[in-house]
Every structure is written in C-alpha cells, then in structure tokens.
Amino acid sequence: MNNKRDMDNKRDTKRSKLLISNVAASFVVKGWSAFIVLWMVPLTLTCLGSYKNGVWLTISSILVWIDQMDIGLGNGLRNKLAIHMAHQQYEEARQIVSSTLAMLICIVVPLLLILWALIAYGDVYGMLNVDSELIPELRTALTAAVTLVCMTFVLKFIGNVYMGMQLPAVSNLLLALGQTVALILTALLYYTDQASFTAIVIANTAAPLLVYLMAYPYTFFKQFPMLRPSLKWVKMRAAMELGNLGVKFFWLQVAALIQFATANILISRFFTPEMVTPYQIAYRYVSIVMIAFTVICMPFWNATTDAYERGDMDWIRRSSRRMNWMTMMILGLLVVMVIISPWVYDIWIGDRCEVPMGMTAMMALYIFLMVLSLRYSYFLNGVGALRLQLYMTVMTVVFIPLAWLVSRETHNILCFMGVMCFCIAPSIVVNMLQFNKILKGRATGWWRIK
C-alpha cells in the first residue's frame, strides 16, 4: 500500500512539475507571439491601407475554416496519444500518429481541388463585398493562400503530437516561429517596396509551412522516433477510433468558428470591409489576456487526461481552485485594459485607425465569456466529456440569422457584438454544472461523460 502511495505521489509530482515548466516556457513563447502579433498590425496596415487590410483579415478568417477541416483529428490525436502514453502503449501510439497523417492527406486533397474550383469559377468579389478595381488580383491571392494553408493543414499535426506528449510549450513555439517568419517576410516586403496585396498574403501563409517543414525531421527522427509515421503503421482500427472521437471535436470546432471566424465575413457583408480593421484591432488588443489564460490552461488539458486515466481526482480539484483565482485576475485585468485602451491605441496605431471604446468594452466582455467557457471546457475535453458540449452548439445555429436581424435593425456593430456574447453564455452555465457534477461523482443521465 505504501509503495503504491509513493508511486502515486511521484507521478503527481512529475505531472505537476511538467505542467509548471510548460506553463513557464509557454509564457515566454506566447509573450513573444503576442508581441509579434501586435507589431504585425500597424506594419500590415501601413503596407496595405485600411481597405485592403480589412480584406486580408476577412480572407484570413476564411483560411481558419480550412485549418479546422481536420474533422477534429488533431484534438483526437492529442487525447488518444496522451492515453496510450499514460499506459505505455507505444505501438498503439505510433498507429494513432500514422493514421492521423494518412487521414489528413485524404481530407486535404479533395478539399484543395474544391477550393480551386470555387475560386476560379465562383463570384469571390461578390461574396467578400470587394471592389475589383481596388484589388484586381484577388483570385490569384486566394489561390496561393488556400494552397499554402492546405499544405500546412497536413503538417500542423506535429503540434498535436507535442501536446499529446504533454509538451504544449513546443507546440506554441512552432506557432510563434511561424508568426516570426511572417513578420520578417512582411518587413522585407515593406522595406523593399514590394508589399503588394498578393505578396503580403503569400508571406503570411507560407511562413508557418516553412516552420513545420523544418520541424518534421527533428520531431520524428530525433525527438520521438518511436512515433515516426509510416504507411505500414496506418491501421483502419486506429483510424476509426480517431474518427469517432475526432468528429465530436470537429463539431465543437465548427461551432466556435461559426461564431468567431465568420464574424469578419459578416461584418464585411453587413457593414463594410473597412469596419473589419477596428474590430480586429480591438480583438487583438484584448485577446492578449485570453492568450495568457490559454498559456496557463492549455497544459491542463492533457495533464487532466493523464490524471483522470489514473484516477487522480484530488489533483484535478487542486488545479480547479487555481484556475478560479486566475479567472478573477483575468476579469480585473480586462477592466484595466478597457480603461487605458485610448492611450494604448494612440501609441500602437496612431491615427491609422480609430477604435471606439465601446467596441473595446464589448470585445472585453466577449473575451471574458470565452475565458469562462475555456476554464471548464479544457477539463471536459481532457476527460472526453464532449456529448453535452455538442448539444450546446445549437446556439451557434441561431448566431448568423440573429446577427443579421440585429445588424439590419440597428446598423450598429456593438449590437452585433452583443449577439456574439449572448450566444456563448448558455454553454458556460452547462459546462460549469457538468464539471462540478463530474468532480462530485454525480454525473449521471444527461451529465454523464460518455
């Protein structure tokens, strides 16, 4: 009995140390990433101007949709990999990694062909409400962007491998390196006077691909050779196992995208492409807080999977109390950020764009609601409690028609943002209730995990 207790304590200590080291490393990486994103805003705005920059931001939100078309395989991989490694099932782990890569390739090839056809023959100018005289090369830029993003789509599973191995800091580093390369390329285009719309689009979409291409051999030939993908390790059983879990994650990702990633497109359609720029500036400013919160909480996802698989609920309860304190600190920080936003914008973007304080305040409310949702969903995702979250995605179905109705009646972007806040609120309540029921061992009926 004492030996088992000692082993559990050692495992608990090791998990906590790994989590703390990843949080610390992720803070450094995400701090740099946030700095890059903030620096990129005025640079891109200077290169393209408010109108073209708004169009690029709208396109980038469409590219996020492509990035999420993995039917949840990435998140399924990180969960299954964490489970197999917790039980030292190395052969099954390699099958999961190999099968994920094979399925991603099978998804991306037809997806890319469809996107090429839509861009070539569809009314892209009408869909994005773009003036063809101001951006005549829109089709060329879109074709290059979707091609590069689809290639990145396959290789980005490397980040999920690191998260499954409880090393989210490395996954964050890959993302930060991609953003850094994008900034360097954009700066080079600016200083060489080559910053056309197409060139900016290519620079931003090619950068992450270059990073993942370099990360692949390091990851699977040096760091984790036992997980190296191979055709002989692609198994139908592993693919089906991933597919069943992945589809659930996929619908959760789609629900989030409907509300967030479509916002740029809807603002462009309901208002003007130029209005996307202040909206995105407010988001990028306030979302620094969510980035910090994500840095802290992301390692809890797979650490929770490990703890739950081993029956260590005490560790989960202690972690939950820490997250409550962090959530309150986030609220206070958001209030301060809204108050000082006029001075921050003046230093950051000067007179290139005006961002009303009301927009910043509404964005802060939305970000806080997102933080509350993530505070519980990271735990629920870690233990595989996805069914009830899937039911709550019904709120996203009403988002677009409700946003359209409110925007038509009010012609006010703040009311549009209010709809975003309204649609996310119910899921927070449900996530909180299920979380507490699972901790107390009372998750039955609708609240059960599976």
pLDDT in tens, 249-264: 555 666 665 666 677 7
Could you give the CA distance from residue 150 to residue 146 in angstroms, rounded to a whole number?
A: 6
**Residues 340-395: tens digit of each pLDDT:** 999 988 888 887 778 889 999 999 999 999 888 888 887 777 676 667 776 776 66
Return the DSSP state at 349: T
- Whether the per-residue pLDDT at 212 is higher than 90: the answer is yes
Residue 400, burial from CB neighbour count under 10 angstroms (0-12, 13-18, 19+)? middle
pLDDT bracket for residue 283 (50, 70, 90): confident
Q: Which string of DSSP letters, residue by residue, matches 194-249?
A: ---HHHHHHHHHHHHHHHHHHHHHHIIIII-GGG---GGG--HHHHHHHHHHHHHH
Task: State residue 216's pLDDT score.
Answer: 94
Could you give the CA distance from residue 162 to residue 213 in angstroms, rounded to a whole number?
A: 15
CB 267 within 8 A of CB 57: no
Could you give the CA distance from residue 39 to residue 406 in angstroms, rounded to a whole number?
A: 34
Task: State residue 205's pLDDT score.
Answer: 93
Contacts of 304 (CB under 8 A, 6+ apart): 316, 319, 378, 379, 382, 383
- b/e burial code for range 61-84 (CB count within 10 A of at least 16 → b): bbbbbbbbbbbbbbbbbbbbbbbb
**Residues 143-193: tens digit of each pLDDT:** 999 999 999 988 988 988 888 887 777 888 898 899 999 999 999 999 998
Total count of domains within the chain: 1
Could you give the CA distance from residue 52 to residue 128 in angstroms, rounded to a whole number?
A: 12
Could you give the CA distance from residue 236 to residue 106 in angstroms, rounded to a whole number?
A: 13
Task: State residue 201's pLDDT score.
Answer: 92
CB 178 within 8 A of CB 29: no
Query: CA angle, corner 152, sides to 157 and 236, nearest 5?
Result: 45
pLDDT bracket for residue 14 (50, 70, 90): low
Could you give the CA distance from residue 375 to residue 383 in angstroms, rounded to a whole number?
A: 14
Could you give the CA distance from residue 9 to residue 6 in angstroms, rounded to a whole number?
A: 5
Q: How many CB atoms lie within 10 A of CB 271?
A: 17
Domain that holds residue 284: 2-447
Could you give the CA distance from residue 108 to residue 92 in angstroms, rounded to a whole number?
A: 24
pLDDT bracket for residue 71 (50, 70, 90): low
Could you give the CA distance from residue 167 to residue 21 in angstroms, rounded to a whole number?
A: 9
**Residues 230-252: tens digit of each pLDDT:** 888 887 666 666 655 555 555 56
Cα dihedral: 164, 170, 173, 177 (round 10): -90
